[in-house]
Amino acid sequence: MMLPSKCLVERGLMAGFLVIASLAAADPLPTVGTESRPVTNSYHGTSVLDAYQWLEESGTAPVKEWSAQQNARTRVYLDQMSFRDGIAQELLQLRSEESARFSGLRERQGRLLALRFKPPAQQPVLVRLASLEPPTLWRTVFDPNTYNAKGTTTIDWYVPSRDGRLVAVSLSENGSEQGTLHFFEVDTGKELEDRIPRVQYPTGGGSATWLPDNSGVLYTRYPHQGERPESDLNFYQQVWFHKLGTAPEKDRLEIGREFPRIAEIRLDSSTDGRWMVAAVANGDGGDFSHYVRNPSGTWQQLSRFEDGIKSVEIGRDQNLYLVSRDNAPRGKVLKLPLTDRMRPADAREIVPQAKGVIQELAPADHGLYVSYLIGGPSELVFYPHGKVKPKRIATLPVSAVSGLQSWHGDDVVFGNVSYLQPFAWYTWAPGADKPARTALYLTSPVDFSDVEVVREFATSKDGTKVPLNILRKKGTPLNGNNPTILYGYGGYGITLAPGFDSTRRVWFEAGGVYVVANLRGGGEFGEEWHKEGNLTHKQNVFDDFIAAAEHLIRRGYTSPAQLAVEGGSNGGLLMGAFLTQRPELAHAVVSRVGIYDMLRVELDSNGQFNITEFGTVKDPDQFKALYAYSPYHRVKDGVNYPAVLLTTGENDGRVNPSQSRKMAARLQAASASGRPVLFRSTASAGHGIGSSLKDRIAEQADVYSFLFNELGINTAKWRFE
C-alpha cells in the first residue's frame, strides 16, 4: 500500500481527516485518524456534542475520501490473511453445490411461478414450473442476470395476473430497493412496453394486485417530482390504478389521500379479484388500518390503527378472516362476511387465542390453516369449519413454516425449514398422515447430522426468560474454550425463526458454536413481547442480549476471549449498545448496516418510519430513553473495546451509511484495547436486500476471516499457499 503524502496529514485540507501509516512490521495496519469538527445540538435543554457530524454529508469529496481510506485500511487487514481466499472459495463451493432454491411460490389458474436461485447466477430468476411433482421442470420468464450482466438488477417482488398469462415485476438496481414495475408475458417472457416508476422504496416497500379482467393493476406509488416538496418524495405512499397499454402519466389515484405520511401499504385480493384489501401500516411500529374495495370499485375503511387488527385474508367463501390482537396479544381469528358495510365489531371469533402466536392464515374451502410461533419455532394447525377438533400437521422439529397458501379445495401448500434440514415446499390435505414433500426442495452439499440444536433460557435483568437456540457439534465440551457466535435482533415484532445455512459448516468445522437469541422486541411471544422491547422499553432488548452472553459464559459454552456477537440493521443497534454497555463480555463484534446515532436517525427518510418503533427526540421522555442508550453517544475514551467490524452498503435506503461512518470514527478515536475497529462499505449494495451473490460471498468471507483472526482459530484448512 502506498503511504499517504505529507500534505494529507495537514489540518484543514479537502479530505478533512488525518492518515497515519504505521511502518512497524509487527503492526502493518494503517491508522485513519478522523478530524474532529465539533457541532452542538440541543434537545429539551440538553446540549449534545457531535464531533463527526460532517461524516453525514454523503457524496461530498471529504466523505468519499474518508470512506476510500477506511476501506483501504480494512483491506490491508483482511487481504494479508493467507486463509481469506480459501474461506471465500469454500463458501462459493458450498453455495454452488446446493440444488436450486425456490421461493415466492404462486399459483394462478394452474400456472405455477416461483423465484429460482442457483449459482453461478448472481440473482434469483422468475420461472414457470410444470408442476410441484418431480422432475422439477421449469422455464424462464424473466432473468435479471441476462438483463444486467453485472448481477446488480434484482426482483423486489412479482404478482401474476388472475389468468396467469401476465406478471408484474418490480425491479431495482444495486441494492437500492427503488423499484420500477415491469410487465411480462408468462409463456414467452416477452416484456410489455408499460413501465411504472417509483412503485417501491426502502422506507415503505411496494405492492400491486390485478383487476379481475387482467386489464390493469392497482399499485403502490410514491410522489413524482413536482407533486410534493423534495423532502416528502419518499413519503405519502398511495394506491394508484394503471391500465395496460397507457402511459403512467394517465394513471389515477385510487386511495391514499388520508393515509399518514409514513404509510406502508400492502395490497391483496380475492381469488377472482373482485374484492381487494389495502393494509396500511403506520410506520414500523406494528399498527395497521385496513381498507376494502368492493366489486363496484368503492373503498371502505374496515379497521383503524387502534383496533388491533394485524392482518386480513379474503376467503373463497366470501368471508374475511381477521387476525386480531385486541385483548389477545398472541392473536385470535375473527370471521366477517364480505358486504358493503363491514365492521370488526360484527365479526365472530372462530379461533381463540392459543399458546402460540398467530403467524399466517390460509382460508380453505372447508376450514382454516393457521401457523403459530412457539417462541421461535412454528406449529401448523388446520381448523375445520364447525365444531370439529383441529388437526395439528407434522412439520420438521424446531422448524419454521412460511408461505402458507391454499389454492383449491382443502389442500394446503407451505414451506418448512429447520436449523439442520434445508428448506422444502410441502403439500397436505385432510386425511393425510403427514405432509408430502414436493419437487421443490433444497439439497445441501453438507450433512449436519453431527450437529444438534439445544434450546436453553437465559435470565434477563428483570427475571424474563430469554430463549437461546444453540447449534453445536454433538459432544461439544462445556469447557469455556469454544469460539461462539451469538446472534440477535430484537425489534419490530420480527421473529428470528429457525433457518438453514449450509455455509455454517465453515464455522462448525472451526469448532464453533452458533447461537440465536429470541429477544424482546421481536414477535416470538406476541405483541406483549414486542412492546416490552420498543420505544422507552428498548433497554430490555439489550439486557436480554447481555444475559444471553453471560449465560453462555457461565454454562461453559465459551468465554469472553472466545465470544463474538453479530447483528444487522436493528441488530446493528443491538451490537452498538452491547459493546458500549458491556465491552468486556466479547472479544469481537460484527455489526452490519447498523443504527448507532439514535438522536439523528429520524432525520433520514426511513428514520421517520422508525419513530413508531424507537420513538422521537421531539418527545422529552422518548429523547431521554434514546439518549440513554444511543451507542454513538455512549462511547467513552480510553475503554478497552472489542475488535469491531462495521459493514454497510453505499446505496442503503433503510439505514444511512453515515451511521456506520460516524460509529467507526468515534470507536477508532476512543478504544484503548489495540484491537482493530474496521469500516467496510460496498459500492454495489444497499441494506443487503438484492445484493449479488459475489457481494454476499465477499462480505461473508471477510466476516469469517475477521472472526478467525481475532478469536485465534486454527485456519490451516483454509490456507492455499
32: which residues sit within 8 A by CB, 6+ positions away?
A: 17, 18, 19, 20, 66, 69, 70, 73, 668
Q: Can you give the pLDDT at residue 203?
A: 84
- What share of the chain has pLDDT > 70, as a percent? 96
Domain shared by 556 and 692, yes or no: yes
Over residues 622-651, the mean pLDDT reads: 97
Answer yes or no: are the C-beta atoms of 541 and 521 closer than 8 Å: yes
Residues in the chain, how many? 721
Q: 9-13, 342-346, 392-396, 505-509: which has the minimum mean pLDDT?
A: 9-13
Q: Is the pLDDT of residue 9 over 90?
A: no
469 within domain boundaries: yes
CA distances from 1 to 19, 529, 683, 701 (A): 13, 50, 21, 21
Q: Is the pLDDT of residue 640 over 80?
A: yes
Domain shared by 588 and 678, yes or no: yes
Secondary structure class of 541 (helix, strand, coil): helix
Q: What is the pLDDT of residues 398-455, one digit of tens each?
A: 999 999 999 999 999 999 999 999 999 999 999 999 999 999 999 999 999 999 999 9
Domain shared by 469 and 437, yes or no: no
Q: Can you give the pLDDT at residue 31?
A: 82
Q: Can you give the pLDDT at residue 240?
A: 98
Angle subtended at Cα 425 by Cα 424 and Cα 427, rounded to the nearest 5 degrees: 135
- The model's confidence at residue 718, banded by pLDDT at 50, 70 and 90, is confident
Distance of CA 144 to the CA centre of its chain: 22
Over residues 79-108, the mean pLDDT reads: 96
Provide DSSP, 664-719.
Answer: HHHHHHH--S---EEEEEETT-SSSTT--HHHHHHHHHHHHHHHHHHHT---GGG-
Domain boundary (443, 473, 508) is at 443
Q: Is the pLDDT of residue 82 over 80?
A: yes
Over residues 154-164, the mean pLDDT reads: 97
Over residues 234-260, the mean pLDDT reads: 97
Domain shared by 461 and 426, yes or no: no
For 131, phi and psi rounded to 5 degrees? -170, 180
Question: 577 exposed, middle or buried (CB, 10 Å; 0-12, 13-18, 19+)?
Answer: buried
- The model's confidence at residue 3, banded by pLDDT at 50, 70 and 90, is very low
Secondary structure class of 87 (helix, strand, coil): helix
- Structural domain boundaries enclosing 415: 355-443
Q: Is the pLDDT of residue 337 over 70?
A: yes
Answer yes or no: are the C-beta atoms of 149 and 156 closer than 8 Å: no
Domain shared by 580 and 712, yes or no: yes
CATH number of the domain at 78, please.
3.40.50.1820
| Active-site amino acid positions | 569, 687
Answer yes or no: are the C-beta atoms of 621 and 536 closer than 8 Å: yes
Domain shared by 422 and 532, yes or no: no
Q: Can you give the pLDDT at residue 28?
A: 66
Instruction: Please list the residues that pair with 168 across neighbouring strands.
Output: 159, 183
Domain shared by 643 and 571, yes or no: yes
Over residues 690-719, the mean pLDDT reads: 94
Domain shared by 403 and 529, yes or no: no
For 619, phi and psi rounded to 5 degrees? -95, 125
Q: What is the pLDDT of residues 23-32, one digit of tens each?
A: 233 346 888 8
Q: What is the pLDDT of residues 169-226, one digit of tens each?
A: 999 999 999 999 999 999 999 999 999 999 999 988 999 999 999 999 999 999 999 9
Domain shared by 431 and 489, yes or no: no
- The model's confidence at residue 516, banded by pLDDT at 50, 70 and 90, is very high
- The model's confidence at residue 11, banded by pLDDT at 50, 70 and 90, is very low
Q: 4-13, 96-105, 287-296, 412-421: which has the minimum mean pLDDT?
A: 4-13
Q: Is the pLDDT of residue 280 over 60?
A: yes
Q: Can you give the pLDDT at residue 14?
A: 31
Q: Can you give the pLDDT at residue 720?
A: 62
Total count of domains within the chain? 2
pTM comes to 0.93
Instruction: Please list the residues that pair with 375 across neighbouring strands.
Output: none
Q: What is the pLDDT of residues 523-534, one digit of tens each?
A: 999 999 999 999
Domain shared by 478 and 385, yes or no: no
Q: Is the pLDDT of residue 15 over 50?
A: no
